[in-house]
Structure 1
Amino acid sequence: MIGFFGDIVFETSDRRILTFQGLQRDSAARWAKHDAIGRKPASEFLGPDLDTITFTVMLNGNYGVKPRDEMERWLIKSRTGEVETLVIGNRGLGVDRWKVLSVSQAWNVVMNRGELFSGQVDITLEEYLGVLT
């Protein structure tokens, strides 16, 4: 097992290949700018911003996956607002959980009767920290 996002398991085996490529994590800071007359504005550090992670999942029917079903799983997570833990190897990424911010599908090969044979899903995740109390 390579890792998982909730119930989606990234793995390579002799029966199934479901993995990602091009994983990129972006972190940023939040800053306020306070304007002042006749001089440059003053900067104030507010704190860290939410991280984002982007990656692509390649789907191919030759490798024991059903591309359309896998695409649907990501779409459901996006549309229902599910938040999940992202684990790569044996370590979680981020402070808490992640939400699916966007899903982009590419249907590369469609067979007879509309069966999707291969495609890819571009995923964007954003950190989810929940409501502060």
Structure 2
Amino acid sequence: MIGFFGDIIFETSDKRIVTFTGFQRDAGSRWSKHDVIGAKPSSEFIGPDLDTISFSVNLNGFNGVKPRIEMDRWLRKERAGEVAPLVIGDSYLGVDKWRISSVSQMWGVVLNRGEVLSGKVDIELEEYIERIGSR
């Protein structure tokens, strides 16, 4: 197992391949600018901002998955506002949990009766802090 987001498991085995590419994590900080008469503004560090993560999941029916079903799992989670931990290897990423901020599906090869043989889903996650004051 490579990792998981909630009940979606990233794995590579002889029966099933569901993994990600283009994994990118962005972090930032929050600053306030205070105006000073006759001088440049003064900057004050407020705290860290919420991290974001983006990645793509390439899905292929020859790799033991049903691409349309896998893509729709992500879409249902996003629409339901689900939050979950994100774990890669044995490390939890972020301070608390993550929410899906967007899902983009690309259907590659579509067979008779609308069965998707291959496709890709692009995922964007944003940190979700459950308790005020969590670090």
TM-score (norm 1): 0.97
Higher normalized strand content (fraction of residues): 1
Tell me, which stretches of 5 or more residues in structure 2 are unaligned?
Answer: none
Deviations 1:19-57 (A, max 9, x none): 001111000000011122321111010000000000000
Q: How many percent identity over aligned positions?
A: 67
- Moved segments of 4+, more than 2 Å: none
Q: Distance in 1 between matches of 2:70 and 2:27?
A: 28
Corresponding position of 1:72: 72
Corresponding position of 1:129: 129
Q: Which amino acid aligns with 2:127?
A: E
Q: How many residues align?
A: 133
- The 5 Å alignment of 1:35-114 reads 35-114=35-114
Q: Which amino acid aligns with 1:74?
A: W
Deviations 1:31-87 (A, max 9, x none): 011122321111010000000000000000000000000011100111111000100
Q: What CA RMSD, in Å, does the superposition of the two structures yield over aligned residues?
A: 1.0
Q: Distance in 1 between matches of 2:120 and 2:35?
A: 46
Q: Distance in 1 between matches of 2:120 and 2:6?
A: 19
TM-score (norm 2): 0.95
Q: CA deviation at 1:131?
A: 4.1
Q: Which amino acid aligns with 2:100?
A: V
Tell me, which stretches of 5 or more residues in structure 1 are unaligned?
Answer: none
What is the DSSP-based 3-state SS (H/G/I as helix, E as strand, rest coil) of the residue aligned with 1:109?
coil
Is residue 18 from structure 1 mapped to residue 18 from structure 2 by the alignment? yes
